[in-house]
Amino acid sequence: MPRSMWEVDIYDKSSLRGQVFNKIHEDIINGRYEPGDSLVETKLAKELGVSRTPIREAIRQLELEGLVMYIPNKGVYVTGISEQDIKDIYTIRSLIEGLAVKWAIERIQPKELKELEEIVELMEYYTIKGDMEQVTKLDTKFHDGIYDACNSKVLKNTLRNLLRYIRKARLSSLRVPKRAHQALEEHKHILDAFTARDPERGERLMIEHISHASHNIELIPRPKG
């Protein structure tokens, strides 16, 4: 018996419906579609070279996630991510990622710890050079290394799905003046907690780190209009 669309992993990029969903999702998160923009099935189907069925399924899932809204007799409109949504996500992220660090310190393998040390060394090198493209890549790699080291696929998948919604804001944060240097010091302190095998300290430092990042996003200039 075939499964319903709700039993299929809509995030699976190997499936057509997953590819369509992820493309529209990313376009909304990255600002290609802004709040108030209309999403027309026929237009999207033509752009992506697919039938209207996977478009319709993707829009249903986006509606469940609160990224679009269907208005009877009018159509589907983008609602996107609000500033309050971002604040909420960062609050939730700080708690979950704090737990991730705590578990990672308890469970990390020597090879994984060595990799985190190398990432921080590279972050320092590129921060001094002012290469923000490399810094942002290494920042993501550092956090991903912690997710892997916590050895919990449930926690890791929860975090990665959550972070999908703030990718743009997260990467923009490091480009605010002095934030990259502050983030580097915070990463060093978190790494020290790993070396000292102090999970409670690591959890506290990560919560503070995410809180600082959230505050920093409030400093990012918003476009007028």
Q: Concatenated DSSP letters for 185-224?
A: HHHHHHHHHHHTT-HHHHHHHHHHHHHHHHHHHTTSPPPP
Average of per-residue pLDDT values in the chain: 85
Pair (37, 122) in one structural domain: no
Nearest CA among 3, 23, 1 for reference residue 11: 23
Range of the structural domain that residue 39 is part of: 5-78
Pair (43, 104) in one structural domain: no
Q: In what helix (H) or strand (E) does residue 78 lie, and over which residues does it extend?
A: strand 75-78
Question: Is 101 contained in some domain?
Answer: yes
Q: Give residue-wise pLDDT tens across range 3-39.
A: 333 334 455 566 888 899 989 988 888 788 988 999 9
Nearest CA among 162, 167, 185, 179 for reference residue 215: 179
Choose the final residue of a domain: 15, 47, 78: 78
Query: Residues 6 or more apart from 122 whose CB is under 8 A from it?
Result: 134, 138
Q: Give residue-wise pLDDT tens across range 33-73.
A: 988 999 999 999 999 999 999 999 999 999 988 899 999 98
**Quick check: pTM over 0.75?**
no
